[in-house]
Amino acid sequence: LDDLKGRVSAAKKRLNELNQKENYQIDKPSTLGRPAEPARNAGLPNFSENTETPESINANRNARDLLIWWAQYLESTSDVAGALQYYEIARDAFNVVRILCVQKPPQVDRAIQIVNNSANSEHKGAAYFIGRHFEEQGNARQALQHLTASGAIRRAVRLAKTQELYGDAVSIALQSSDK
């Protein structure tokens, strides 16, 4: 929690520096037409120029954290499309899949594609959201597949039992390391 407070405090400080430098430089006629300069000076990524690629942004951990923080802010203000865009720039597969599954209408095919192309740690959490989506839709077979891939073995067994898929319940239970 203290680490999170520190990161938020540092981000606020950088944004404040940006605003101060921007207000100071607006009065100078020599800086007009160069809006990216204050962002570079404050150490923030510049989104007004298309010179940075998602790969270069992802290389800077602080920029990625700031992008995720901004996406969370946009999501809290109900700007889901904007949040999705910033999660994608930050390459946060977990949150991208989560939003794709809860959107109306859900974009499950795109979410499955992202899960198949994502890293293992993000894959498991994202697969869980897809499994939950299929479970809510009543598609038990696909829900079991994704819940098992996410490591949610107990939930998958419980779903298989409630759907009377006892053969699947046994095969899933055998995959578990629990006794």
pTM for the model stands at 0.57
Give CA–CA dist 162/67, Å, rounded. 41
Q: What is the pLDDT of residue 73?
A: 92
* Chain mean pLDDT for the chain: 75
Average pLDDT over residues 87-105: 86
Comparing CA positions, the residue from 138, 145, 142 lying closest to residue 162 is: 138
Residue with tokens 């946060």: 92
Question: Each residue of 128-162: b (16+ CB within 10 Å) or e?
Answer: bbbbbbbbeeeebebbbbbbbbbbbbebbbebbee
Q: How confident is the model at residue 5 (pLDDT cuts 50, 70, 90)?
A: confident
What is each CA distance from 95 to 22, 75, 83, 161, in whole angstroms? 32, 11, 9, 30
* Spatial CB neighbours of 64, under 8 Å, sequence gap ≥ 6: 57, 58, 90, 91
Cα dihedral 39, 43, 46, 52, rounded to 10, equals 150
Burial class (CB in 10 A: 0-12, 13-18, 19+), 2: exposed
Question: Which structure tokens are listed for 175?
Answer: 């995959």
Average pLDDT over residues 82-96: 88
Q: What is the pLDDT of residue 61?
A: 66
Give CA–CA dist 2/138, Å, rounded. 42
| Of 32 and 173, the one with more pLDDT | 173
Q: What is the pLDDT of residues 31-79, one digit of tens each?
A: 444 444 544 554 555 554 555 555 554 456 667 888 889 999 998 998 8
